[in-house]
Structure 1
Amino acid sequence: MRLKKRSRIGKSKKVTDVTQRYFLEIPPPPPPPPPPSPPPAGGGGGPAPARPPPAPPRAAPPPFFLPGGAFFFFP
């Protein structure tokens, strides 16, 4: 007794419809910004742009230890 193979044309068609609809809904990515123009070669040697000092990292509060090995962090 030979079994008839089912064609997958209908299923694959449904999948491609969904993917096409999904890709059509995605807006195209914005164009990349133009690169900053380099300073002129052999420039006048003016003052360097002031760079703000880096902010010191916030120190984490010390953990509060409880007897028994449990400890909690207080913000």
Structure 2
Amino acid sequence: MGKPNFGRYSAYQSIVTYLRFSPIEWNNYLLLADWRLDYTRGVNMDLEYPSIKKMSDILLEVECFLNCCKKIIYEEV
């Protein structure tokens, strides 16, 4: 059996194509996906967790992504 994955990679790639920029760096997206799997499924992936500074930077990227999503939603209404 291979390594489990989050399964949302193509969805993120689609939104990046739509936005024409990547609100969350691809490597950070992969880290978030792996951390989610490790936490929710307890797969013990032996991951290295980030420093407080790195996590703060990732959270800023996530905030940017969520703001882009809100803008899309409110413009579509």
Q: TM-score, normalised by structure 1?
A: 0.28
More helix by percentage = 2
Which protein has the larger Cα radius of gyration, Structure 1 or Structure 2? Answer: 1
More strand by percentage = 1
